[in-house]
Structure 1
């Protein structure tokens, strides 16, 4: 073989060896198991590792508009990059030279292009074959190879959380090692370094979870009572997550786990100090706030000072506990309560007793004493014997109460709740106890006198009412009859002033609507007419003008002004203000460009523009609007007339629920109400409401279910007919579902372009909502979750009102009927349709 040829072959073989070695090295550094990094591998900027289940990803990122690089963990399958943990929060890398690797000692190190150490983990002991693994929980761990016991991990990111609290994390303290797992806010969306706020467990007496701004306490949850934190009565069993506190000799921590891991949910301490739970909604492709722990101003720590109590429902939030008076009265007159209250009568120790205070958030317990093994009576005896003891309470409220919690300091940060509050027994001087006993005795006597007085007054009022009724009947058309209307106007105006609700000048609205020209008329109902108007600044408005002859409209007007003036949600029509001048009553709304939903889904010529994606967006938007009314608004609102005509569409076809004339508000403890005057719209009313006058949030859920099936099918429930049967739309959908033919329900113009999975899920949820029994229907929390996830759904039961259709239904749903209506062989009286 010629020498030159032999040299060429050798050089080729050498190149191949170099190429193979380079390929193997590249493979080792980028392609070994995607969730594990060993001591021979590294991660460079631009490379990532992904947890085995594909839920989380680790790599380098730049927050917001910043160009600085950080090593972080984020959700892999969520299109909006959501970072849940950052390694080098305080020391960013200024270029893309960052490298992460595991040392032979089992320590994670992050270096820049100069090899300088940017960040490193720690190690609890020497390691032989250490690896780093990103778990599907979002936890980055360093461990011995093949070691899966968390107790033996060398290091884990869950022990050093940032601003995000993930399922499976422990938020609290290791009482043996002193490890403090706490959250700290980001400085800004562009800067993940430690912000002003921290949240974590503080021990000393009974543990408390405290939110601080710097060193200042801003909020505390209240002591854990076995079911929830004392200061968070809204924390109840829910369909999203299970939560609890573990407290033993080794550790104290708060944790939670998701009931359905397919619905991402996390808790975040925001840069503004809000402690929030957020859920990912697939449809909107956004994180939505499920709950903010700080509910209102009474959650500000120690707002009312020592022995003060906060009640958000009172016009003046702070008051002193019974037996106490303001320490500095002049300050209380100017609404400065921080100096709190002092006792009216000093304690005497030997003769002191206790007064029960119910329905409250227990005071700060960080300097308390506790014992889980004794009962309340033993707890009282201990407090009585110790002259320094200021109050006592049960530790655990389950099974009638158990355990003992004693306070030896001033009682601070108490607030009152309407439900799920607790009881505390406060030490009081003997003379004060006597006053309370006299007050209770006088209260009973006063109650007897009050009952007699009320009965007498009631008889007198009934007599006067009868005389007034007769007088009004005889003078209905006389000028003096305007007095009642003006008194009503005065009442409404008073409510407007209390709500600080905007008032419009009548002349301004008349000018905006061209003096209520018929050319500007948008529609008409039992209340009166609606007009389009344009204000002088160019803003388009819709004006509802109350008909002078409409009593129904007067009630609606009051509801709109009094109940929903302060409701703000992107899926509710915004009420801008009102006008009351003499006998004119106007409501002014934001103008909706695309009219109402019924115009699009029931009009043959308008069906085509409303494609499936728009319909699905409308369904989800209505659901979110109802959820806000039922759960997240200041007062629980039952709409009572949800229908296609009362869903308006803005210029981007986003739905907005309107017309709250029949709405009713519920208190926190109310679940249903009864009315003798059933009002609403045929085809949308729930059976229990139409038959018995019972309405609740589940009545709106039924209406929502009907609306969903109408949106999918393009057919009205009322008046629906089919050649094969006499069922209405609900019965038809139920029948198709049972036969596995639900896709046949979808409106024919969009059948070919629709998303079958979304259609089937919508129909399924709609049928769950129209089940006959209210107890079987989901609430709107579950509806929103079901629409936004892909998990299995329970089979629906038989719908209400689906077996036959009443002949009366041939008439329009907007007419008023005053005669009895036979429906499904049952009679409904006083039914008014709109």
Structure 2
């Protein structure tokens, strides 16, 4: 029996692959109705009507035209569906792109920009997946779908805040697979302090990419030099934004925020005819925002140890909860540091995603030494780090005020964070460092001595084996020579005529005798007496016995 889901999916595929002309535009005289498509000039993307999942409601969306798995990348009327197939997308009398349902008086959705005449505007679908509205007489851009993304980020699409206009381009998850309406999870750039990308569940931070290090997001160690993108990060008085440009145009890739609260990157495999997961976050407990609470560090690499540890100078707020492996309460100061005190300093916490940068002050002209001095002279400063920690030893200065939260350790990535501590704590860490150095030195000395002794023993053993072999060889030669000398009367040569004649015993090299006796083979042995064994040998055709 044919299921409703299968039937609806079949209908969706039919609509996505519905025949259309090569027209990639909508004009005042060329609209599209439910069942029609416009296709980008390179046949990369298509725009038309669709119904998601089990829903019967109709939406205008953009999807990949040649990808066999129906994949929606943008939805116009995500929160205002059309309840039947009466929808028409057209340029209205005011020059806006508008979607009308059965009620043709008021649009279900519109670009809603101040345009005076329909004659001056045209909508076009580009091969990038961007739907744009232009003045057809000047080609001036009036509106674009890339400024109003839904749950998908395409290559060359900008994500971030325009500080001049207030436009904040962010991704927002669907409510469900059946409903593309605005969901509970959103992914956007936080411009406060030092900009960073964050995933939100409602108004609560869910995961944080970390700040921009100059090469990548500090919380995304997968962004290496052989990453598939050329990434452009902009942070100035006009905007804070990020753009991912693919290095190979043949790569089909997209990033989404799904309804379960994950940011995911996919690439299309032509061989497998499916989307392959390339990257996803959050992955583990330490990725979730503030998993260990304030003033702590999350280290996921301890197999038999609680992942939460307090930062230098701090201790658990609730030791009982900490003992039960619940670090959400965070840590508190061991000793209050309300005013600047003599002897204060900083302890380095290496290879971390630095704490939330919303509470930082930025001074890009400072190096790391000036950053330390700036923090030390301000009694409210909790710590500091480089703004771009991976660029030429560190560029710029971030100083922290208020709290330190969402710090986590990496094995081969991250930045160095310097946490402010009092004199007592600084002395403790200095002692630990001294003991650590002494321990390392002691281990090095012991290892070196052990290596030397081992080599010396191996050399002595080698010399001894060589001496034993030489002595054994001499003993064998002496034994054979003695045996042959004492039994010289018993050795004769059989002449060809059968007669025998005695002769003086010759001397032989040991190697000659070994060869002649087939390495003293038992089948050559004639017997043995008080002076050793007697062997039969063949030499120059003469039988010697």
TM more than 0.5 = yes
Indicate if the aligned counterparts of 2:341 and 2:422 stay in contact, CA closer than 8 A. Answer: no
Unaligned 5+ runs, structure 1: 1-29, 464-834
Indicate if the aligned counterparts of 2:20 and 2:37 stay in contact, CA closer than 8 A. Answer: no
Could you say what secondary structure the match of 1:143 adopts? strand
Check 1:339–1:414 CA distance in 2 against 1; reply closer, same or farther (3 A cut): same
Corresponding residue to 2:353 among 361, 370, 379: 361
Q: What residue number does 1:274 align with?
A: 262
Corresponding residue to 1:210 among 170, 194, 198: 198
Indicate if the aligned counterparts of 1:59 and 1:72 stay in contact, CA closer than 8 A. Answer: yes
Offset from partner CA, 1:604-644 (integer Å, 9 cap, x none): xxxxxxxxxxxxxxxxxxxxxxxxxxxxxxxxxxxxxxxxx
Indicate if the aligned counterparts of 2:20 and 2:36 stay in contact, CA closer than 8 A. Answer: no
CA-CA distance at 1:241 after TM superposition: 2.1
Q: What residue number does 2:323 align with?
A: 333
Indicate whether 1:395 and 2:387 are aligned.
yes
Indicate if the aligned counterparts of 2:295 and 2:330 stay in contact, CA closer than 8 A. Answer: yes
CA-CA distance at 1:216 after TM superposition: 1.6
Structure 2 counterparts to residues 91-130 of structure 1, below 5 A: 91-115=80-104, 116-123=106-113, 126=116, 129-130=120-121
CA-CA distance at 1:400 after TM superposition: 2.0
Corresponding residue to 2:332 among 334, 342, 367: 342
Indicate whether 1:138 and 2:126 are aligned.
no
Distance in 1 (CA, whole Å) between partners of 2:454 and 2:285 is 40
Q: Give the TM-score, by structure 2 length.
A: 0.75
Larger strand proportion, structure 1 or 2? 2
Q: What residue number does 2:294 align with?
A: 306
Offset from partner CA, 1:234-269 (integer Å, 9 cap, x none): 211336322232111111111101122222100011
What's the Cα RMSD here?
Answer: 2.4
Indicate if the aligned counterparts of 2:98 and 2:111 stay in contact, CA closer than 8 A. Answer: yes
Indicate whether 1:68 and 2:69 are aligned.
no
Indicate whether 1:436 and 2:429 are aligned.
yes
Could you say what secondary structure the match of 1:366 adopts? helix
Check 1:345–1:124 CA distance in 2 against 1; reply closer, same or farther (3 A cut): farther
Check 1:239–1:333 CA distance in 2 against 1; reply closer, same or farther (3 A cut): closer
Check 1:241–1:32 CA distance in 2 against 1; reply closer, same or farther (3 A cut): same
Indicate if the aligned counterparts of 1:175 and 1:252 stay in contact, CA closer than 8 A. Answer: yes
Indicate if the aligned counterparts of 1:104 and 1:129 stay in contact, CA closer than 8 A. Answer: no
Larger Rg: 2
Structure 2 counterparts to residues 10-21 of structure 1, below 5 A: none
How many residues end up aligned between the 2 structures? 433
Indicate if the aligned counterparts of 1:122 and 1:155 stay in contact, CA closer than 8 A. Answer: no
Indicate if the aligned counterparts of 1:105 and 1:130 stay in contact, CA closer than 8 A. Answer: no
Distance in 1 (CA, whole Å) between partners of 2:222 and 2:201 is 24
Could you say what secondary structure the match of 1:154 adopts? strand
Indicate if the aligned counterparts of 1:374 and 1:402 stay in contact, CA closer than 8 A. Answer: yes
Q: What residue number does 1:485 align with?
A: none
Check 1:461–1:140 CA distance in 2 against 1; reply closer, same or farther (3 A cut): same
Distance in 2 (CA, whole Å) between partners of 1:106 and 1:262 is 36
Indicate if the aligned counterparts of 2:385 and 2:418 stay in contact, CA closer than 8 A. Answer: yes
CA-CA distance at 1:138 after TM superposition: 0.5
Structure 2 counterparts to residues 176-255 of structure 1, below 5 A: 176-238=164-226, 240-255=228-243
CA-CA distance at 1:70 after TM superposition: 0.4
Indicate if the aligned counterparts of 2:152 and 2:254 stay in contact, CA closer than 8 A. Answer: yes
Distance in 1 (CA, whole Å) between partners of 2:427 and 2:416 is 21
Larger helix proportion, structure 1 or 2? 1
Corresponding residue to 2:374 among 376, 382, 397: 382
Corresponding residue to 2:244 among 248, 251, 256: 256
Q: What residue number does 1:80 align with?
A: 69
Of structures 1 and 2, the one scoring higher in RCO (CA 8 A, sep 6+) is 2
Could you say what secondary structure the match of 2:381 adopts? coil
Q: What residue number does 1:372 align with?
A: 364
Check 1:456–1:76 CA distance in 2 against 1; reply closer, same or farther (3 A cut): same
Indicate if the aligned counterparts of 1:104 and 1:130 stay in contact, CA closer than 8 A. Answer: no
Distance in 2 (CA, whole Å) between partners of 1:346 and 1:372 is 31
Corresponding residue to 1:59 among 39, 45, 48: 48
CA-CA distance at 1:290 after TM superposition: 0.9
Check 1:376–1:75 CA distance in 2 against 1; reply closer, same or farther (3 A cut): same
Offset from partner CA, 1:783-832 (integer Å, 9 cap, x none): xxxxxxxxxxxxxxxxxxxxxxxxxxxxxxxxxxxxxxxxxxxxxxxxxx
Distance in 1 (CA, whole Å) between partners of 2:258 and 2:145 is 20
Q: What residue number does 2:501 align with?
A: none
Check 1:372–1:420 CA distance in 2 against 1; reply closer, same or farther (3 A cut): same
CA-CA distance at 1:408 after TM superposition: 0.5
